[in-house]
Chain A
Amino acid sequence: MKVHVPESVDEAVGLLGAGTVIAGGTHVVPRAAPTESLVSLRRAGLAGITVQDRTVRIGAATTLAQVGREVEFLHAAIESIASPTIRNLATVGGNLFVPQPHGDLAVCLLALDARVSIIDADGAREVGVLEAEGLVTAIRFDVPQRWYYTKAMRRRQNSGSIVTVASDGTRIALGGVAPRPVRATAAEAALAEGDVAKAAELSVEAADPSDDAYASAWYRRRVLPVHVRRALTNAV
Chain B
Amino acid sequence: MPSSVIEITVNGSEEEFIAKPGTTLLGALRDTLGLTAAKRGCAQGGCGTCTVLLDGRPVMSCLVAVETIDGSEVQTLEGVADGDRLDEVQAAFLEGFATQCGFCTPGMIMAAEALLARNPDPTRADVVEAISGNVCRCTGYGPIVAAVLDAAERRRSA
A residues at B contact (CB < 8 Å): 1-3, 5, 22, 24-26, 29-32, 34, 37-38, 40, 42-43, 65, 79, 82-86, 88-89, 157-158
Chain B contact residues, majority secondary structure:
mixed
Q: How far is the CB of A47 from chain B (nearest CB, A)?
A: 12
Is there a chain A Cβ closer than 8 Å to B2's Cβ?
A: yes
CA distance A3 to B21 in the complex (A): 6
Q: Do A85 and B48 touch (CB < 8 A)?
A: yes
B16 CB–A CB distance under 8 Å: no
In the complex with contacts A38-B65, A89-B64, A2-B21 CB distance below 8 A: yes
Residues of A within 8 A of B4 (CB): 3
Contact of B58 with A by CB under 8 A: yes
B interface, CB within 8 angstroms of A = 1-2, 4, 21-22, 24, 43-45, 48, 51, 54, 57-60, 62-65, 67-70, 111, 114, 128-130, 132-134
In the bound complex, residues from chain B placing their C-beta under 8 Å from that of A40 are 65, 67-68
The answer for the CA separation of A31 and B59 in the assembled complex, in Å, is 18
Taken together as a complex, chains A and B put the C-alpha atoms of A78 and B75 apart, in Å, by 25
Cβ contacts under 8 Å, B60 to chain A: 26, 85-86, 89
> Once bound together, how far apart are the Cα atoms of A3 and B137, in whole Å?
34
Q: How far is the CA of A22 from the CA of B67 in the complex (A)?
A: 13
A121 CA / B65 CA spacing, docked (Å): 26
A30 to B58, CA, bound (A): 18
Partner of B21, one of A1, A26, A79, A83: A1
Chain B residues with CB under 8 Å of A37's CB are 21
Given A34-B22, A65-B57, are A83 and B133 neighbors across the interface (CB < 8 Å)?
Answer: yes
> Could you pull out 5 A-B pairs where Cβ atoms are within 8 angstroms?
A3-B4, A3-B67, A29-B62, A38-B65, A158-B132
Given A85-B58, A88-B57, A24:B132 Cβ within 8 A? no
Chain A, Cβ-Cβ closest to B21: A1
- Whether B68 contacts A25 by the Cβ 8 Å rule is yes
Known A-B contacts A29-B65, A85-B51, A85-B58; A158 and B133 likewise in contact (beta carbons under 8 Å): yes
